[in-house]
């Protein structure tokens, strides 16, 4: 696929909860290999959009195409296999497992041991575990998590848990990575680390990244393009430079924030 091709295209998507319209005729494209930021005030519908991509929410109308598949018509558990991974705004790790096992669990779609192989273990399942362990160790190195490899993630501090969750998403080797506010609640140093990881990752793997983030400075630094939502409506789309100068955005979002 060429770098400028469209990888994900969202068309006329509508979603509502009772009376509130969470997404209104939303449409935009994500291009292969770019970092697209989605910004907007609280309640703008950013997380709801990701939930539609994962089919946690069912869109009322519209289509979401990913590399030729219509995501609105695919079973939720099959979306991972298409190459889409995600982190959550409120962290959704397997709290009872170690960092290592959280990442190993994320290799699920790339592994093949079934009921019988798992019961017998020696042989196929064992070899498979070892070869996937190597991939996981690379990610642990990359995210500088060696020291928490064996820690039960439920007991890790918030910033590290966010990092483990990123690691778990990377272990899926996605072609599209959805990050829901990966830096919220972090201190400055942790934020800088996280931004560095995201940029590094993007550089090395050319993974497409759809990033939801509140920190405007950060978004302006790392995003290729920005989509702005307000009350479920797309009010602007363009380069960080264009967004910064957009009157409507300043009124709806930046004006409020600064």
- The DSSP bridge partners found for residue 79 are none
Residue 210 to residue 15: CA distance in whole angstroms: 20
Binding of residue 93 to ligand ATP (CB under 6 A): no
Question: Which of 79, 140, 148, 194: binder of other proteins (CB under 8 A)?
Answer: 79
Question: Which of 29, 129, 193, 224: binder of other proteins (CB under 8 A)?
Answer: 129
Binding of residue 87 to ligand ATP (CB under 6 A): no
Residues in contact with 185: Cβ distance below 8 Å, sequence separation at least 6, in sequence order: 158, 159, 162
Q: Going residue by residue from 89 to 118, which x/- string records binding to Mg ion, judged by CB under 5 A? A: x-----------------------------
Binding of residue 158 to other proteins (CB under 8 A): no
Binding of residue 81 to other proteins (CB under 8 A): yes
- Of 54, 29, 41, 56, nearest to 233 (Cα)? 41
Binding of residue 90 to ligand ATP (CB under 6 A): no
Which of the listed partners (Mg ion, other proteins, ligand ATP, none) does 40 bind, with a CB threshold of 5 to 8 Å by partner kind? Answer: ligand ATP
Give me the DSSP letters along 146-205. GGGTTSBGGGS-HHHHHHHHHHHHHHT--SEEEEESTTTT--HHHHHHHHHHHHHHHHHH
Binding of residue 45 to ligand ATP (CB under 6 A): yes
Give the tokens for residue 244: 């910064």
Q: Going residue by residue from 48 to 67, which x/- string records binding to ligand ATP, judged by CB under 6 A? A: x-------------------
Point out which residues bind Mg ion (CB under 5 A): 47, 89
């Amino acid at each position: 696929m060429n770098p400028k091709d469209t990888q994900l295209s969202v068309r006329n998507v509508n979603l509502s909860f009772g009376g509130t319209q969470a997404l209104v005729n939303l449409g935009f494209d994500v291009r292969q290999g770019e970092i697209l930021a989605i910004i907007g005030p609280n309640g703008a519908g950013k997380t709801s959009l990701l939930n539609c991509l994962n089919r946690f929410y069912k869109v009322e109308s519209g289509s979401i195409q990913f590399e030729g598949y219509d995501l609105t018509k695919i079973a939720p558990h099959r979306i991972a296999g298409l190459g889409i991974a995600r982190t959550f705004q409120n962290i959704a790790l397997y709290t009872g497992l170690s960092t290592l096992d959280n990442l190993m669990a994320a290799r699920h779609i790339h592994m093949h041991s079934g009921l019988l192989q798992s019961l017998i273990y020696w042989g196929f399942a064992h070899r498979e575990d070892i070869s996937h362990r190597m991939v996981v160790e690379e990610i642990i190195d990359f995210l500088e998590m060696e020291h928490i490899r064996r820690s039960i993630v439920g007991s890790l501090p918030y910033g590290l848990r966010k990092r483990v969750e990123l690691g778990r998403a990377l272990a899926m080797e996605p072609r599209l990575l959805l990050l829901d506010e990966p830096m919220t609640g972090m201190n400055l140093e942790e934020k800088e680390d996280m931004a560095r990881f995201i940029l590094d990752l993007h550089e090395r793997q050319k993974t497409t990244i759809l990033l939801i983030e509140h920190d405007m400075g950060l978004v302006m630094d790392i995003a290729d393009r920005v989509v702005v939502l307000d009350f479920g409506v797309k009010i602007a789309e363009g380069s960080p430079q264009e967004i910064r100068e957009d009157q409507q955005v300043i009124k709806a979002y930046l004006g409020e924030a600064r």
